[in-house]
């Protein structure tokens, strides 16, 4: 009766992989996932504008805000490739690696709509005087990340003691993960911060550890 569309949030995926089972020396798995996440509402949050209060998003404050809202959702990563494996040259040493490659999330442009009856300003899928449907401004760059790790279990500890070393994001990739998506200010003027990066991949870091298993 108020003119709101039906809530739509859909996800489908095709998951394919090749796997080499462990043969007392090495294990490997290569995985490709094609997926789509789309609809007119992300759910309890609205991460594309940084609104992270559970169940308090603006999506259903007015029917006018829902215009142009149908499209790829912020968590849509159409292509994902993962490769994982480990190599055990002896009972004391174990080496592993993990590679993740993913296509970028969709970009939006929020601006002042032609019928801002609730006075929300730049809250609509509307920019530069025309509709800007969800996900219509392209995508962020692909991201990729490689992690490596090693483990050593000395003879004297009878497999109870392990020394570990992990290197995350080996090549210290720092691709953009999110951007500022307001294309206009509340007055309708162009926002100079539009598409300014807000977050990046975590740079390379190393973690050293010691583990002792009391159960053996």
| Per-residue pLDDT tens over the stretch 175-200 | 999 999 999 999 999 999 999 999 99
User: Residue 192: what pLDDT?
Assistant: 96
| Per-residue pLDDT tens over the stretch 122-145 | 999 999 999 999 999 999 999 999
Q: What angle do CA 130, 131, 135 make, to 5 degrees?
A: 135
Confidence of residue 94 (pLDDT cuts 50, 70, 90): very high
User: Residue 38: what pLDDT?
Assistant: 96
* Rounded Cα gap, residues 31 and 101, in angstroms: 10
Contact present, 102 and 80 (Cβ < 8 Å)? yes
Residue 216: pLDDT above 60? no
Q: Of 31, 57, 35, 32, give the one whose Cα is nearest residue 44.
A: 57
* Rounded Cα gap, residues 68 and 131, in angstroms: 7
Count CB-CB contacts under 10 A for residue 73: 25
Q: Which two structure tokens, joined as six digits, stand for 35? A: 């997926």
């Amino acid at each position: 009766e108020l003119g709101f569309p039906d809530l739509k949030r859909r996800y489908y995926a095709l998951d394919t992989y090749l796997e080499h089972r462990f043969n007392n020396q090495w294990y490997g798995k290569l995985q490709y996932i094609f997926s789509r996440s789309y609809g007119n509402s992300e759910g309890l949050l609205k991460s594309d504008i940084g609104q992270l209060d559970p169940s308090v998003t603006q999506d259903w404050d007015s029917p006018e805000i829902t215009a142009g809202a149908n499209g790829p959702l912020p968590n849509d990563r159409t292509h994902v490739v993962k490769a994982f494996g480990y190599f055990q040259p002896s009972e004391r040493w174990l080496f592993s690696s993990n590679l993740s490659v993913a296509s970028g999330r969709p970009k939006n442009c929020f601006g002042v709509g032609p019928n801002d009856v609730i006075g929300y300003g730049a809250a609509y899928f509307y920019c530069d005087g025309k509709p800007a449907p969800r996900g219509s401004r392209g995508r962020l760059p692909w991201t990729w990340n490689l992690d490596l790790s090693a483990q050593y279990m000395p003879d004297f500890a009878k497999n109870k003691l392990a020394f570990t070393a992990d290197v995350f994001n080996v090549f210290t990739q720092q691709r953009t993960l999110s951007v500022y998506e307001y294309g206009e200010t509340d007055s309708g003027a162009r926002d100079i911060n539009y598409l300014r990066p807000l977050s990046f991949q975590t740079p390379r870091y190393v973690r050293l550890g010691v583990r002792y298993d009391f159960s053996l």
